[in-house]
Every structure is written in structure tokens, then in C-alpha cells.
Amino acid sequence: MSIHQANLRVDSLVLYKGHPARVLSLGDKIEIALDKGETKRVRLKDIDLLHPGPLRGLHELTLAAGDFAEAWELLEGGTTRLRELAELIHGDFTPAAAWAAWGLVAEGLWFSGTPEEIHARPRAEVEADQAQRQAREHAARDWDAFLARLAASQPLPEDAERLAEVERLAWGRSEHSRILKALGIEETPEKAHRALIQFGYWAPEHNPHPARQALPERDPDLPVGDLPDEDRLDLTHLPAYAIDDEGNQDPDDALSLDGDRLWVHVADVAALVPPDGDLDREARSRGANQYLPERMVNMLPPAITARLGLGLLEVSPALSFGFGCDAQGEVVDVSVQRTWVRVRRLSYEAAEGRLDEAPFAGMRGLVERFRRRRQANDAAGIELPEVSLRVRNGEVIIRPLARLESRALVMDAMLMAGEAVAVLCRDRGIPIPYATQAPPDKIEQPLDLAGMYAYRRRFKPSRLVGEPGPHFGLGLPLYTRATSPLRRYSDLLVHQQLRAWLRGEDPIDAKTLVARVGEAETAGAAVRRAERLSNQHWKLVWLRAHPEWWGEAVVVDREERRHVLLLPALALETRARLQGEPALNTRLHVSPREVDLVDLDCRFRIRD
């Protein structure tokens, strides 16, 4: 006869799902009372008898803890029953003593088993479990203290390792965070970003976008070899000028004039970066330099720029493109040479005041013929506002870029070089990536700001392909990018192909070239997205720091319930709900009302 059948009676103490219960009645099913006054009918097999009773109420189970250590030492390694254990600890077998003794068994540290067979665990197991439990208790206390610090926005330096989990989510590199889940915060990158700011771990102006695109944070650290021993044409007698923005750190192109022949000199990066070496593969994986307002991250080691940047040394090695421009604006008589050049650096502003002097006046004559030809081919003439955006010592500096003729001169000279190289490579069968662009569905040239905004939105993306084709936006029948090998991998690839041809060697084949371009373009797209989002971020940081600012906004488009505004002074695009239906190109005065750096959004107040 089982213990249940032999001893179970009304008012017995039983165990039901880990809780004490008092038997109220017996039958096919047993009625029990639980500790919260609830009654339940259960099967015999669902309960364990702890004491036959009588137990008048569960309130009788209160009992001061007895000395179980002596009982455990006496029984260590052996077995007993609940009755004997209760009597050893409490000197009597009552429902309260039985329940207290069973609590020790349920705890599982000193004893384990069932009411009919209780094991007194060996000392080694007890001590090992004690150590584990203490460690868990310490970890739980530490975890609670950590969460309390976050709630108080007072993280400690040692919390960084834990908060890396939230950072990974904020960067889009994971989908879950135990920390956010514990705090009841939705597990999304945006919520993680906002939480890190609320915790006081990220500053409100922290820019997460480069990391969110999984971009490298540092320049490559790879060895750089020596220039190869090869013949170079000495062009140091020609004054050469690297014209760029003030503070430019990677000057990789320069101009000089030789009679009616224009030379575009480009840093000879491929001389130090041969195809498919460590440097080449690293540059390909990065795609392009990162030009962020707060820093620049190079695709190649800075030592290459230090050695090859035009104007950084007295004499520089270059890959130079020479060509003329006929009366119709066609690029003619193209040559490519390895050269030595002596370059002087100028800012656009400094060059602007010298455009009527030699050699700049002669350069202007050549590029103006070329420009007229492009314009006749419906080259896009979009003049949307642009700004220079920099972060220096935590200060955001925004400076509108003036429309300078010197800037247009350099741009057209670089386009001439791109077309010249594309023509040469096409005619000689040298595989290179050609930049192409299909025309938009509508091609009317815009006259006002809203028209230019709409025109740009209709543009189709340019593509790098293995076959020559027209580039609508530039107004050119074929074109390649060849003047920024320090900055873009596709330009470097063109240089590698040209140098192979100059040496009389076989360039890489078209299939391999297209695959390498595809890899670099994938990385470059991430760079461009990070740059765009970073620029938006820092413009909003500036607005957040200047709540008193008032500026002009122009209505450039309409959406379903909102209008698109362009702020020329900041080159910032935003959306707002406006009263009435203001016409396109309506000019408003706006001031920042609420800036949300996490959502990259700003709401403006509008002055009539």
C-alpha cells in the first residue's frame, strides 16, 4: 500500500506544484486548499504527502528555522526520510516542522530528493554549489546596480564592456539587447541610439552613421614600398597648380599649360599600389576615402599621400594626361606620361583673383570651349546650394560655398582629362570602368530653385560599366574617372590599367575589372551613405546649438501632406506642414523649434 493510500486523510499537509496545500476532502479527486485561499480538485498523483496532519490552516506552518547544519553533518552522504529529518532539526514531527524541513530539501543545497528518500549531499558538492550560488547572487546584485546606474544616467567606465551590446544594436550589427529588454526598451537601432544618450554613455551629438554602415574607423596600417625605377618625363619646368579647398589634405591633381596644350597631372598612386596586392585589396574593400565633417578616413595608408600628394614635396611623381581642345570643344591629341612635376598649391579663393593672369587665362580659354560643347549636349546645369561642413574641437562650422569660376575651371579640366583617358582606352582596347548615365524621363533645363530640385530628383544614377557609353549629366559621349586615385578606388584601377599599358604589359581583363569595380562600388555606396547621413547629423547638431537662428527656406516640392523646404544657408532639406498651399519657390523665414538627432529630423517655426 502506497504512502498516499496509507496515511493521506483530511487535514493532511501535501505538496502541490511546489506549494503547501491542506486536504479538504477525499474521493476520486482530492480537494485541497492553497495558500491564497483558493481550492482545487486534483488527482492523487499530482500531490506528495508531507505530513498526515491534522493541519487546521496553512497559517500554522510558520516556524523559526532550526539548526540544520548538525543534522546535515550527521547524515552527510547518506539518506533519510522527511519525518526523521524534521525530528533531527526541530526535535518533533509537526506539519510546520515537516514544511520547514522540506524547504531545505527544495532549496537543493544541503539536501535533495523526495519526501520518502532524502539525500544529504556530500560536502564537496555543497561547497561547489555554494560558490556558484554566491557568484550568481553577486552577479545579480551587480546587474541590478548596473541597471540602476543607467536609469540614473550615471554609467561608470567599467560599464563600457556591457554597453557594447547596446552599441552593436544601435549600429545595426545585432538585433537583440538583454539590457534594453530588461529596461523595457524596444530593441531597434533608433531606440538603442536614444537609450545610449539617455544613459549618458553617448553624447547627444555622437554620430553613429559611419559605424552603422560598418565602415573602418582608422586609416590602413600597411607597409608601403618604394617607387619603381622607371623613366619619367621631366615637366618640372612647367608651373603646375593644385587648386582645391582650403585645408585639403589629399591633393591628387594639378594643372599646367604648355602652349595650347593642357596637362592634368595626377598623383601616381598606382606606382606604389600594384594590382591585387595587399594595398590594392585594402583600398578595394574600402571603396573610397571617407570625408566626414569630424574626420577623414583614408582608403590607403597616409604614407602614400605624404609621398605622392601633389605639392607636398618639392618634386612629385605623377601620371600626367596631356591634350588639346579644338575649336569645337573636342579633346584632341591625347597622351599619357609618367612624369616629374613641380606643384604649387592654391585655394580656390586664391586662384579666383588670378584667372586673368598666365597661365590661368590660357587654361580658361581651353576649358570654355569644352564647356560650351557640353552645354550644347544638354549637360546638366544644376546650381543647388552647397556648404563646407567641418567639426573642429567639437564646434560645427558651416560655410556656404561661393560659385567661383576657379572651381568651375578645375572641374571642367578634370572632366576633360576623364574624357581624354576614356577616348585613349577605347581606341587602344584597354579595359577600364566607364562612367555612364542615362537621361531622365524629362530633360527641360530648370531655371529656378524648385525646378533644379525637381530636375535632380529625376536623374538616374550614374554607373561604372565595362563598355563605353554616354554620360547624360556631363554632356559627354564617354567618360571615366581618372583624377582622384588617392580618393576613389575606380580611379586607381584606371591608373593601374594605364601603367600596365605604358609598360607594354597586359592589363587585367574586362571580366576581372568589372568584378573589382563591383566590390569597390558596394563599399563606396556605404561610404556615400555615411557621408550623407553624417552631414545631415552635424547640420542638425548646429541647429540644436543655435535655437535663436532665423534663416530663409524655399518651398521646392509638395508631398502628400507636407512641403519640402530647402534652407540655402545650410544646404539642408527638410519637410514641414504648411498652412494653405504656398507656391513653389515661396520664401519663408524659419527657426529651429525641435531637433531630433536620432531620427535626423528638425521641426521649424515659421515667421510670416
Q: Which residues pair with 48 in a beta bridge?
A: 15
Q: At what angle do helices 510-545 and 278-286 cross, to 10 degrees?
A: 50
| pLDDT greater at residue 167 or residue 70 | 167
How much of the chain, in percent, has pLDDT values that exceed 70? 98
Looking at residue 471, the DSSP 8-state letter turns out to be B
Query: What is the architecture, at CATH level 2, of domain 3-124?
Result: Roll (2.30)
477: its cell numbers: 559621349
CATH number of the 546-607 domain: 2.40.50.140
CA angle in degrees (0–180, nearest 5) for 41-45-51: 85
Chain centroid, CA 483 distance in Å: 28
Longest dimension (CA), the chain: 119
> What is the rounded CA–CA span in Å between residue 487 and residue 236?
24
Burial class (CB in 10 A: 0-12, 13-18, 19+), 116: middle
Confidence of residue 66 (pLDDT cuts 50, 70, 90): confident
> What is the rounded CA–CA span in Å between residue 24 and residue 542?
74
Tens digits of per-residue pLDDT, 110-152?
999 999 999 999 999 999 999 999 999 999 999 999 999 999 9
Confidence of residue 381 (pLDDT cuts 50, 70, 90): confident
Give which of 291, 459, 273, 290 is closest to 382, Cα–Cα.
459
Residue 445's pLDDT is: 67
Question: 30-34 and 39-42: which strand pairing?
Answer: antiparallel
Phi-psi domain of 184 (left: phi exceeds 0; alpha: psi -120 through 50; beta: other): left
Question: 240-244 and 343-347: which strand pairing?
Answer: parallel
392: its cell numbers: 573642429
* Domain chopping of the chain, boundaries: 3-124, 144-202, 233-527, 546-607
User: What Å distances lie between residue 172 and 180, 196, 527, 598, CA to CA?
Assistant: 14, 14, 16, 14
Q: What does 328-362 look like in DSSP terms, one character per residue?
A: TS-EEEEEEEEEEE-EEEEEHHHHHTTTTSTTHHH
What count of other Cβ atoms lies within 10 Å of the Cβ of residue 586? 16
> What is the rounded CA–CA span in Å between residue 79 and residue 438?
87
Tens digits of per-residue pLDDT, 159-169?
999 999 999 99
Burial class (CB in 10 A: 0-12, 13-18, 19+), 135: exposed
Mean pLDDT calculated for residue range 564-592 = 93
Burial code (b: 16+ CB inside 10 Å, e: under 16) for 301-322 equals: bbbbbebbbbbbeeebbbbbbb
Residue 1's pLDDT is: 31
Residue 301 has pLDDT above 90, yes or no: yes
Residue 442 has pLDDT above 80, yes or no: no
Tens digits of per-residue pLDDT, 593-604?
999 999 999 999
Q: Which residue in this structure is represented by grid cell 606643384?
A: 343
Mean pLDDT calculated for residue range 435-451 = 82
User: What Å distances lie between residue 293 and 121, 264, 413, 490, 537, CA to CA?
Assistant: 66, 28, 27, 23, 10
Regarding pTM above 0.75, the answer is: yes
Residue 27 has pLDDT above 60, yes or no: yes
Main-chain dihedrals φ then ψ at residue 581, nearest 5 degrees: -130, 75
Residue 428 has pLDDT above 50, yes or no: yes
Confidence of residue 382 (pLDDT cuts 50, 70, 90): confident
What count of other Cβ atoms lies within 10 Å of the Cβ of residue 427? 9
Residue 476 has pLDDT above 70, yes or no: yes
What count of other Cβ atoms lies within 10 Å of the Cβ of residue 565? 23
Residue 5's pLDDT is: 52
C-alpha count within 13 angstroms, C-beta hemisphere, residue 592: 20
Q: At what angle do helices 489-502 and 510-545 cross, to 10 degrees?
A: 150
Tens digits of per-residue pLDDT, 207-264?
999 999 999 999 999 999 999 999 999 999 999 999 999 888 889 999 999 999 999 9
Q: Which fold has domain 144-202?
A: Arc Repressor Mutant, subunit A (1.10.10)
> What is the rounded CA–CA span in Å between residue 69 and residue 272?
77
Residue 4 has pLDDT above 60, yes or no: no
Residue 560's pLDDT is: 83
User: What Å distances lie between residue 606 and 103, 254, 315, 565, 586, CA to CA?
Assistant: 70, 46, 55, 12, 13
Residues 524, 493 contacting (CB under 8 angstroms): no
